[in-house]
Every structure is written in C-alpha cells, then in structure tokens.
C-alpha cells in the first residue's frame, strides 16, 4: 500500500497536512509518504512523536500555486511535489495520492502522468455530499465542463464501482440531475443520457430534480461537470450564508441572544452532519491510479479522513474493479 | 391597461387567484379581467365586496392541466383560459397575462400565440431571487434547456431592460454564472458568452461563482435555462431543507424548545426576506406581450403582488423598451 500525501498543497500546508499524516499513521497503523520540501516537512514532523519508519519523506523542491496554468505547471515543474509523487506512483495499482493543492494541476497531472484506464472517455471528479443517513456521491463535480451523454453513462459506472467499494453499499441507486421528473425533460444531452442509463444495467432510478438533491434517495447523482460544480458550490455557499444570516438575526435582539445560547448545542450537532471534513476528499475516477482531491482549506482532521478513504480505496481494489467493470461494459455493448 | 389573470391555473385555483384579484383591484384601484369558467369564477367573486365594474370575467370552458403536453394543449384546447386570454391580448402592447398554471403551456402559448419580438432568438424566463438588499434577477431560469452563447447575450439585454423598468435601477450590474472567476473558465458556450457580454456595452461585471450567488453584487445573473433552473430549484429545496432540519434539531431537546421560542420572531423576520410571494412572478421576456408566470403554489398574496408587478410592467413600457433595445443592439452590431 503506497499512500502519498502532497505536503505542500492547500491553504494550511504544510502544517495541517503533516499533522493529519501523523494522526493517520498513529490511528490506522499504516505507513505513508509525505512529498514536499524535505527540510520544511522534517521540521514540521519534528514536533510529533510517531514510529519514524511509518513516515517517509520524498523531497520535491518546487511548489505549484493555485493560480498557475495547470498543464504548463505539470510540464515545467518536474520537481514539484505533485509531479514527483505522480512519477513515484506510476505503474503501481495500490497507490493513492492525496493533495489539497490546485485542482486543475492535480487533474492535469493525473491525466498526463498516469493516463486513463482503457476505455474511459473522460475521468471525473466525485464528491460525497453529506445527508441525513449517509452520503450522496455527485459525479462529475467539475473535471469536465463540456460533456456528452456517453460520458455521463461512464460517470455512473465509475460512481457505482467506487460507491460499492469505498462506501460499502451494494448496487447503489443512481439518479440523473435534471430539471424535470419526466423522461422527456431537460437538455438534449441529458435526454440522451437518460436513455443510456435506462439501458445500462445499473440501478438507475430516473431523474432527480434539483430541489430534491438534499433529500434524494439516490446514492449517486450523475451530471456534467459544469452542473455538478454549480450544485456543489451553491450547496456550500447557501448553507454558510443561511447559517451566518440566522446567527446575525438572532444576535440582534436580547431575547434572540438568550435563545441562541440555548439552541447552540442542538445546532452544532445538526451542522456536524454536513461537515465536509468528515468525508475525506473527492476521488478523481477513471485514471490509472488513485487520486484524491482534498478541499483547499483542509485541516489535519480532513487530511486524516482522506487518508482513511485512501486505505479503503486501495484495500477494496477500486482501480482493478473499475478496469474490469469498464471492460465488461464495453464487451456487453458490442 | 389590460391585465388578464388565469383564474383556473395553479394549485390553489380558482379560490386564491380570485381573492388575489379582488385584493389587487381594491388596493391598486385598477380594472382587470379574470379568465376561466364563468360560473365558477362568479361564484368565487360573489363572496367579496368590490367595485363590480373593475373585474370583468372572460369565459373559457376548458382547463389545461400540469401534465399535458404543452404545444398540443395550446393547439387543441382553444377554449382554455390560457388560449382565450392570449387571443384577447394579441396586438395590444399594454397587456399582461398572469398564470399560476402549467409553465410549459404558458411558454408554448406565449410563443405560438403572441410570437417573438423582432430580432429575439429565444425568449427567456426571469426570476427574482430575494437577497438582503433587493433582488437578483436570474435569467434564463428554465425556458431554454439548450442555449448558445448569443442567446445568453440577449438574455442579459432582456434582463437589463426589465430591471431598469420594473425594479427601478439604472444600468444594473450583470454577472455570468460560471464555475470559476477567471475569464477562461467554464464550458465552451459560457466562455464564448463571456466575450460577447464583455463587448455588449452592458454593465458586465464578469463571472459569478455559484457559492457567491446568495451574496452577489450583480443585479442580473445570466445563464442557460438548465443551469438557471438548477440554481433556482436548489435554492428553494436547500433553504426549506435546512430550515426544517434546524427546527427538528431544536425541538429534540427541552433546552432547544425553550431557545426556539425565544428566537422565533427574529427567525421569522429573517425568513421573510426570502419570501418568494413578495416578488410576484417570473416574467417571460422577449415575446410580443407581457406574460408572468406565478408560482404553482401561489396564494392570494402572491397573485396580488404579481398584479402589482404587471402594473409596473405596463406603466413602464417594458415591451416597447425591449423592442427598441433589441433593434438598437442589432444596428450597433452591424
């Protein structure tokens, strides 16, 4: 099992990334590799007590910033933490790289350095949206702004394998995000995707309207990457807007302040359900290797959870299962 | 001024529709026409006291249901409230039709019976999303699931004229919904729309990311109808999900219940900001006549507000101004 953690990526790098890695080796009793400027990483590590053989440091002098053009950055910065890690992973099916750095660079790096699984048209980014009793996996949440219907069918298959393997539910229910419940609703692309999904052999439950996303019974929601990104970011933005709006409204009156103090605990446990840090990161599915995009603002806890997710990813053989499923699906279609 | 109200459309028709019409004639001192099954409408009207000359009833025996195929329904049901009203409006620039019935039938009816303003490629549905200090107009919110970049440029122009005329703000700020802040982000269509908007002469402020929709400084948000519908319906669905979730969480403990009672008033005034009933309905812009789609669940208060909106629409000459703006824009582009 080879878990690589990009020590230099993210708003809280390297401090929180390194701390998350230490917490993970202690809690899960595993070994992993931190990739980044060795001196900086070792200095962070020196603060903690842990079995030293369980954390290896792979030196990478360069860092890719959030504002760099992804493909150019991957090509030019051969000594960046991202490129060094991807080169080390190559050809090893039991590897995962976790990074909280630039999404664009991570996706471009995965595609250029690891390549696509045979038969995959477009790899996709999947994000687990927390809901009352579990999570909904949203795929694609932003890797492909322009999509064709057959990409969406593959996203469903990628999500199916991942959900079964990592989230542990047999035959997960698949919904298609659409602006109407009926089969004939939506854009031309989505209508075509509906027909493909209907005959895909997957557990397709039909269209899911946006208003029902927070409560849907679907385990997996399929859409193009533009729509997926709109959904995910709007969920984040509106939740935080409403929560802070409610707080401000309450704090404006004495009665409200008193009430606010009384409901604080209940509200906190309600909010905890939707804590993105609990979910680990967003897997980039369809490339020849495990890639997990952690949120840019990840703290040590989020990184530790992304490492737990990586362990499941490797132990359950997501890569091999995906390769087999794509092959089988292609043969069935012939 | 000819205001037609579809008495038969919507979940609460005819009762709430008729009541809203009566409230409006009393409050705004105007005359209007209720269109629907005369006997039913008159029976509802008989409950109220109002200047009888201010409400005319136009008989229409048929009703178009929510589940009917729109184009077929418009063609076959010549005696439906929708078709009778549209026929009565034809050729009169100071007419508006309000309906809380089937959106599809209303849009199809507007297109088939009134036609497009010369030069308009695709009429679009605009919805006012309430925010802290005013509203953001989202256009297109569902009329066109498949769009080209130049449609989006026209949506911006339609929104611009409507916002200035009805919502009363000179040179409103226009944002493009996109999955990144930078010019080169997004789908091919959105990238092209960015360039068109940049050179449109309108007050274009660039991309607006979905997480910023609740707090955006843009007065108008432009997008394709698929994205717009996703945004609007997700806003509705998530708000009500969070509000009811918070309530359930609080009511689960004695302390929470007590706190809940104390914050009730503050919470109510916070929620009132986002009351869709305050906003009237969604105007269908670009057709040769005023069409306002009221929410299917509209009550009398929402209908009364849609009538107030119609008065502004007519008094401020939205139709003439739109026709002139499209003409001017076409000439400028030549």
One DSSP character per residue, A247-272 reads HHHHHTSHHHHHHHHHHHHHHHHHHH
Query: What is the DSSP secondary structure assignment for residue A128, as one 8-state letter?
Result: E
Sign of CA dihedral B193, B199, B204, B205: positive
pLDDT given at position B87: 95
Taking Cα atoms as reference points, which of A4, A227, A229 lies closest to residue A106?
A4
pLDDT given at position A334: 57
Q: How far from B171 is each of A231, A266, B309, B319, CA to CA, in Å?
A: 29, 45, 20, 18
Give CA–CA dist B178/B87, Å, rounded: 39
pLDDT given at position B334: 57
- Residue A326 near residue A157, CB atoms below 8 Å: yes
Residue to test with chain B: of A233, A234, A240, A247, most B Cβ within 10 A = A234
Restricting to B residues 262-281, those with a Cβ less than 8 Å away from any Cβ of A are 262-263, 265-267, 269-270
Query: What is the DSSP secondary structure assignment for residue A59, as one 8-state letter?
Result: E
Structure token digits, residue B283: 């105007």
Structure token digits, residue B260: 């809940």
- Residue A229 near residue A142, CB atoms below 8 Å: yes
Query: What is the DSSP secondary structure assignment for residue B280, as one 8-state letter?
Result: -
* A179/B258 touch (CB, cutoff 8 Å), yes or no: no
Give the minimum alpha-carbon distance from A142 to chain B in angstroms, rounded to a whole number.
8
What is the end-to-end Cα distance of chain A in Å, rounded? Answer: 36
Residues of A in contact with B210 (CB under 8 A): 229-234, 237
Residue B260 is nearest to which of A211, A232, A259, comparing CB atoms?
A: A259
ipTM: 0.93
Residues of B in contact with A263 (CB under 8 A): 250, 255-256, 259-260, 263
* A229/B255 touch (CB, cutoff 8 Å), yes or no: no
pLDDT given at position A35: 97
Give the minimum alpha-carbon distance from A240 to chain B in angstroms, rounded to a whole number.
9
* B146/A187 touch (CB, cutoff 8 Å), yes or no: yes
Give CA–CA dist A101/A110, Å, rounded: 13
pTM over 0.90: yes
Q: Across the 334 residues of chain B, what is the mean pLDDT of every consecutive 10-residue run?
A: 95 97 97 97 97 96 88 93 94 92 94 96 95 89 97 98 94 97 94 97 97 95 98 92 85 86 84 75 96 95 96 96 93 73
pLDDT in tens, B37-76: 999 999 999 999 999 999 999 999 998 988 889 999 999 9
pLDDT given at position B66: 82
Residue B238 is nearest to which of A209, A229, A238, comparing CB atoms?
A: A238
Give CA–CA dist A241/A111, Å, rounded: 35
Residues of B in contact with A187 (CB under 8 A): 145-146, 226
Residues of A in contact with B234 (CB under 8 A): 210-211, 213, 231, 234-235, 238
Q: What stretches in chain A show pLDDT beneath 70? A: 276, 334
CA dihedral (B282, B287, B288, B294) in degrees, to 10, reads -20
Helices (H), B199-224: none
pLDDT given at position B291: 97
Helices (H), A90-224: 103-109, 149-166, 188-198
Residue to test with chain A: of B186, B226, B237, most A Cβ within 10 A = B226
Helices (H), B64-148: 70-76, 81-89, 103-109
Strand segments (E) across chain A: 2-6, 32-36, 55-59, 95-99, 124-131, 134-139, 174-177, 204-208, 220-222, 282-285, 290-293
pLDDT given at position B259: 87
Looking up tokens 């959900």 gives: A163
Q: What percentage of chain B reaches a pLDDT higher than 70?
A: 99
Residues of A in contact with B242 (CB under 8 A): 214, 239, 242
Residue A187 sits at φ, ψ, to 5 deg, of: -75, 165
Residue to test with chain B: of A259, A261, A271, A274, most B Cβ within 10 A = A259
CB atoms within 10 A of CB B155: 34
Restricting to A residues 148-207, those with a Cβ less than 8 Å away from any Cβ of B are 177, 179, 185-188, 190
Give the minimum alpha-carbon distance from A259 to chain B in angstroms, rounded to a whole number.
4
Restricting to A residues 202-231, those with a Cβ less than 8 Å away from any Cβ of B are 209-215, 225-227, 229-231
Give CA–CA dist B300/B12, Å, rounded: 9
pLDDT given at position A273: 73
């Amino acid at each position: 099992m080879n878990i690589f953690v990009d020590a230099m990526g993210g708003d809280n790098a390297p401090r929180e990334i390194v701390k998350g890695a230490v917490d993970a080796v202690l809690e899960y009793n595993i070994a992993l590799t931190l990739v980044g400027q060795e001196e900086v990483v070792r200095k962070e590590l020196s603060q903690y007590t842990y079995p030293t053989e369980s954390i290896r440091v792979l030196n990478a002098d360069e860092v890719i910033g959030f504002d760099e053009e992804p493909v150019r950055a991957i090509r030019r910065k051969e000594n960046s933490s991202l490129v060094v890690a991807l080169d080390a992973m190559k050809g090893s099916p039991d590897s995962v790289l976790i990074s909280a750095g630039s999404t664009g660079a991570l996706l471009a790096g995965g595609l250029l350095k690891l390549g696509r699984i045979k038969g995959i048209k477009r790899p996709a980014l999947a994000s687990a949206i927390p809901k009352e009793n579990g999570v909904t996996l949203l795929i694609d949440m932003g890797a492909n702004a322009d999509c064709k219907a057959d990409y969406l069918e593959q996203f469903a298959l990628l999500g199916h394998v991942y959900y079964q393997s990592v989230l542990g539910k047999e035959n997960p229910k698949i919904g298609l995000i659409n602006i109407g419940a009926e089969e004939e609703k939506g854009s031309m692309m989505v209508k075509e995707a509906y027909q493909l999904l209907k005959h895909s052999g997957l557990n397709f439950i039909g269209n899911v309207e946006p208003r029902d996303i927070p409560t849907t019974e679907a385990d997996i929601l399929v859409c193009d990457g533009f729509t997926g990104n709109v959904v995910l970011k709007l969920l984040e933005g509106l939740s935080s807007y409403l929560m802070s709006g409610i707080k401000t409204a309450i704090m404006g009156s004495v009665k409200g302040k008193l009430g606010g103090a009384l409901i604080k605990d209940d509200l906190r446990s309600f909010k905890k359900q939707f804590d993105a840090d609990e979910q680990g990161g967003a897997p980039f599915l369809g490339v020849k290797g495990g890639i997990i995009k952690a949120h840019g603002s990840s703290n040590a806890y989020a990184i530790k959870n992304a490492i737990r997710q990586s362990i499941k990813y490797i132990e359950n053989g997501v890569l091999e299962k995906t390769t087999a499923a794509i092959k089988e699906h292609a043969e069935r279609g012939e």
